[in-house]
């Protein structure tokens, strides 16, 4: 069986479902050993910074520039970093700003990702119709395979 290197993108948001997706992504990557080791990209997409208005004299700092960021970052990426380290999987952590589905799809296209692993939120029918679902948008628009992890 020919096993080729894979690029795996996992969406991280600090929720239990994203932690489960992170473990699945690492498990998929751990299957490839030897010279064709897979790489996992763990991506957190934060909302764009609020736009300043003429009444704002000092615009707010992005969350990544606050004193709490280091602790928050460690909590959000803890599971994927621990799993990758234990399995010997190559991991690259990314933090982007914008709309989550758009940023995930853009990164996947730019980096020629082979599979996107994303958790399902389990929203109800009405909430999904009103707000949309990141996993639904990714599944419908991705140019690569998408692995949806359910609780």
The pLDDT tens digits of the residues spanning 90-125 come to: 999 999 999 999 999 999 999 999 999 999 875 555
pTM: 0.83
Structure confidence at residue 60 (pLDDT): 66
CB atoms within 10 A of CB 41: 23
Structure confidence at residue 83 (pLDDT): 96
Domains present along the chain, CATH in parentheses: 7-50+60-149 (3.40.50.620)
Average pLDDT over residues 54-66: 66
19: which 2 tokens?
Answer: 């932690």
Report how far residue 74's alpha carbon sits from residue 1's, in angstroms, rounded to the nearest whole number: 38
Q: Which residue has the higher pLDDT, 106 or 73?
A: 106
Report how far residue 148's alpha carbon sits from residue 103's, in angstroms, rounded to the nearest whole number: 17
Percent of the chain with pLDDT over 90: 55
Average pLDDT, the chain: 84
Report how far residue 38's alpha carbon sits from residue 147's, in angstroms, rounded to the nearest whole number: 16
Nearest CA to 17 out of 147, 151, 146 is that of 151
Q: Which residue has the higher pLDDT, 9 or 70?
A: 9
Nearest CA to 135 out of 20, 18, 22, 8 is that of 18
């Amino acid at each position: 069986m020919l096993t080729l290197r894979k690029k795996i993108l996992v969406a991280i948001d600090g929720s239990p479902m994203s932690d489960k997706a992170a473990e699945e992504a690492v498990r998929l990557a751990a299957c490839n050993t030897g010279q064709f080791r897979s790489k996992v990209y763990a991506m957190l997409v934060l909302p764009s910074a609020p736009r300043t208005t003429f009444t704002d004299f000092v615009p707010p700092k992005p969350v990544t520039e606050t004193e709490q960021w280091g602790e928050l970052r460690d909590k959000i990426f803890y599971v994927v970093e621990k799993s990758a380290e234990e399995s010997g999987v190559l991991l690259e952590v990314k933090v982007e700003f914008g709309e989550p589905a758009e940023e995930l799809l853009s990164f996947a296209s730019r980096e020629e990702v082979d599979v996107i692993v994303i958790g399902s939120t389990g929203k109800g029918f009405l909430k999904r119709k009103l707000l949309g679902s990141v996993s639904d948008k990714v599944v419908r628009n991705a140019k690569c395979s998408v692995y949806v992890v359910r609780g």
